């Protein structure tokens, strides 16, 4: 499974730590390749990562900004993307298992404990997508709306 990762300037340090951690765990990680600067804008990173995930079957994405909120909002504008802003392991689990999320947004200034961030990311990666009928129905309703609008 391919995992794309991207961040704005506020997430750069955390992104570097996560890339190292995930590569040490033999995961196929690809930085989306946009350069960071003190004046970069999070939507650019979210849109590019969202397009990469949307165009790569079975892939996931990790976005990092100061709060995780902006990245999540922007990523959710990309067709085929369902992004959860996660500040807990439960958020990551439910985002993937209940809502079929394929991208996770982390706030580098919200969740500052690197061990918790690793646990959140591990949970997101290893959790299976929705398999209960009620969750599948809800995700399909979102997909249908997205395809019609």
- Checking if the pLDDT of 132 tops 90, the result is no
> How do residues 39-85 score in pLDDT, each as one tens digit?
899 999 999 999 999 999 999 999 999 999 999 999 999 999 999 99
In this prediction the pTM is 0.95
pLDDT tens, position by position, 72-123: 999 999 999 999 999 999 999 999 999 999 999 999 999 899 999 999 999 9
Cα dihedral 25, 30, 35, 39 in deg (nearest 10): -70
Domain ranges of the chain: 2-148
Q: Which residues are catalytic, by number?
A: 65, 98
CATH homologous superfamily of domain 2-148? Sugar-phosphate isomerase, RpiB/LacA/LacB (3.40.1400.10)
Q: Give the whole-angstrom CA distance, residue 112 versus residue 99.
A: 25
Residue 33 burial (C-beta neighbours within 10 Å; 0-12, 13-18, 19+): exposed
The pLDDT of residue 106: 98
Nearest of 100, 105, 94 to residue 50 by alpha carbon: 105
């Amino acid at each position: 499974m391919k995992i794309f990762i991207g961040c704005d300037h506020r997430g750069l340090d955390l992104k570097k730590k996560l890339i190292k951690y995930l590569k040490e765990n033999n995961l196929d990680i690809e930085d989306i390749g946009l350069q960071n600067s003190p004046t970069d804008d999070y939507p650019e990173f979210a849109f590019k990562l969202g397009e990469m995930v949307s165009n790569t079957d079975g892939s996931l994405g990790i976005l990092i900004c100061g709060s995780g909120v902006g990245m999540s909002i922007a990523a959710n504008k990309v067709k085929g993307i369902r992004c959860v802003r996660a500040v807990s392991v439960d958020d990551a689990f439910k985002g993937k298992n209940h809502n079929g999320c394929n991208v996770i947004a982390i706030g580098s200034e919200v969740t500052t404990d690197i061990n918790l961030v690793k646990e959140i990311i591990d949970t997101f990666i290893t959790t299976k997508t929705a398999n209960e009928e009620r969750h599948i129905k809800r995700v399909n309703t979102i997909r249908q709306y997205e395809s019609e609008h």
